[in-house]
Amino acid sequence: MTPLETLILVCYFFVLSILAIYGWHRYYLVYLYMKHRDKAPQPPPDLDVLPPVTVQLPIFNEMYVADRLIDAVCEMDYPRELLEIQVLDDSTDETTEIAELAVRRHAMRGFNIHYLHRVDRTGYKAGALDAGLKQASGEFIAIFDADFIPPADFLKRTLPHFGTDAKVGMVQARWGHINQDYSLLTKIQAILLDAHFVLEHGGRNRAGCFFNFNGTAGVWRRAAIGSSGGWQHDTLTEDLDLSYRAQLAGWRFVFLSDVVSPAEVPVEMNSFKSQQHRWAKGSIQTCIKLLPRILRSNQPLTVKVEAFFHLTANFNYLLMSVLSILMFPAMYVRYNMGWSEMLLIDVPLFLAATASVGNFYVVSQRELYSDWRQRMKYLPFLMSIGIGLCVNNTRAVLEAMFGKESEFARTPKYGIEADGDEWAGKKYHMSVGVQPMIELALGLYFTWTVFYALMNQIYGTLPFLMLFQVGFLYTGLLSILQQFTGENVMLKAPEVAK
C-alpha cells in the first residue's frame, strides 16, 4: 500500500470514528431521557397572584404571518390589566402597515399593546428584544416568533413553574407544526424538531444538564436576563448564548413537553437551508465564546461533557463533508487490498454513526404519536437530507471558525397551513448561489460511486452510498428547481401527493 493510500484510509477511519462517537452520544441522550422519566416536570399549583407579563413579538418582513401572530397573542387567557404586548417590528416592507394596523385594532379593544419600530437593525433580533426590554413593564417576558400561534392557555400553564422555585429563570415549551403534512420536506423537519425537543431538551433537563431556550415559545424571568448579561448580538444564536450564560449564573431552566405552541416550518428548501445555516453558525460562535468558560466552571463533569457535545455537534458537518470526498478513494483502496477484512472495521463504524440516528428519531416519534410506525417510512429520507445539508452547514461552521460576519437572515414564512396553500408566487424567496451546484456535483459523484460498487459487487456499502447520493441530489436539485421555476412538485410527501 502506497503512502497516499495509507493516508486516505487513516483520514477516512479517523473521521468515521469521530462521527461514530457522536452517534453513540445519541444513544446516551435516549438513555438519559428514559432513566429520568420520573423527573418530568409535573403541573404545579396555580399561582395565588398572577404576575405582570410582557409578551414580545420580534418580527422582520413577515407580511404573511404577522397578523395571525398578533391575533393569537391577544386571544391569550390572561387578565388584560396584567398583560403587555410589544410588537417589535424591524420590517422594511408592507409588514409595517399590517402590524401597525393590527396593533391599533387590538388597542381599541382595550389591550395594552405597543408597536415599536426600529429603522436601525443593530443587533438584529437580539437588538430588538433588548430595545423592547428597556420599555417593558412585565416581571416575566414571553417571546414568540412571527410564525407561531401560541395557545390561549400558554401563560397559565408556564408561569406556575416560576412560582415553585425562585431560581427558575426560563420555561421552554415544545414546538408544534402547523403544516407538517404539507410536503416531504416539512414532514422531515417536524421529525427533526420533535427529536430535538423531546430527547435533547427532555433528556438534558431531567438529568440536570444545561439545555437552551429556542428563541421563541418560552417565558423568561426578567431578572434572569438582566443578571446574566442581557441579550448580546455577537453570535447569530442569541437564545443559545443567553441560555448558557444564565445557567452558568445559577438559573434553572424547565422544559415542558406537554405544552405545545404550533408553528410553521419552512416549505422551501432554500429557506430551510438558511435557517439551518444560521443555527449551525450561531452554535459554533457560541461554542467558541462560551465553551472554555463552561469547562473552567465548577459545574459537575456530566454537565460539562453534555455541554461539550451539544455545542460542538455542528462540527460533524465539516467531518461529513470530508467523509463524502473520501468515500470513493477509500472504497477503491480497500477493494484492491481485500474488501472483506476492511468490512470488519467499516460496517460497525457506519452502523454506530447511522443506526443511532435511526434509534434517536424512532424513540422520539414513539413518545409523541400513536401512529409512529407509519412515520418511520420517512427515516431514510431524514438521514439523506441530513447528509445533504453538510455543504450548507459546513460553510456555516467555517464562517464561524474564521470569524466571518454575516447578517441575521430570518427564515421566510408564507402563512402555509394546508395542503392547497401556495407559496411559489409570494415574496421572500431565498437566493440560490453556487452552493446547490456543489451539492449536485456531489450527488453525481455518489451516483458514480454507486455504479462502481454495483459493478464490483460491493453490495454491503450500497445502503450507505445511496443515503449520500439521494441527500445531495435532493437538496441541490430542489434548491435550483424552487428558485428558478417556483415548482413544488418535488416537495410533495407520498401520502399527500395529488
Model confidence pLDDT, tens digit, residues 103-114: 999 999 999 999
pLDDT at 490: 38
Counting residues of the chain whose pLDDT is more than 90, the rounded percentage is 75
What's this model's pTM, rounded to 2 decimal places?
A: 0.92
pLDDT at residue 135 above 50?
yes
pLDDT-derived band at 414 (thresholds 50, 70, 90) equals confident
Element (H, E) at 113: strand 112-117
Phi-psi region of 229 (alpha: psi -120 to 50; beta: other; left: phi over 0): left
8-12 long-range Cβ contacts below 8 angstroms, 24+ apart: 8/326, 8/329, 8/330, 8/333, 9/330, 9/333, 9/334, 11/322, 11/326, 12/323, 12/326, 12/327, 12/329, 12/330
pLDDT at 353: 66
For range 68-97, the mean pLDDT: 96
pLDDT at residue 202 above 60?
yes
Model confidence pLDDT, tens digit, residues 239-271: 999 999 999 999 999 999 999 999 999 999 999
pLDDT-derived band at 355 (thresholds 50, 70, 90) equals confident
pLDDT at 341: 56
Beta bridge partners of 174: 260
Mean pLDDT: which of 215-219, 403-407, 452-456 is highest?
Answer: 215-219
The alpha-helical segments, DSSP class H, found in 37-149 are 66-74, 95-107, 124-133
Model confidence pLDDT, tens digit, residues 377-400: 999 999 999 999 999 999 999 999
- Given a contact cutoff of 8 angstroms between Cβ atoms, the answer to whether 170 and 220 are in contact is yes
pLDDT at 485: 58
Is 371 among the residues known to form the active site? no
pLDDT-derived band at 497 (thresholds 50, 70, 90) equals very low
Is 77 among the residues known to form the active site? no
For residue 292, give the C-alpha cell.
472554555
Q: Which of 67, 89, 145, 239 is catalytic?
A: 239
pLDDT-derived band at 96 (thresholds 50, 70, 90) equals very high
Q: Which of 67, 90, 130, 194 is catalytic?
A: 90
Q: What does pLDDT average to over the chain?
A: 91
For range 171-191, the mean pLDDT: 95
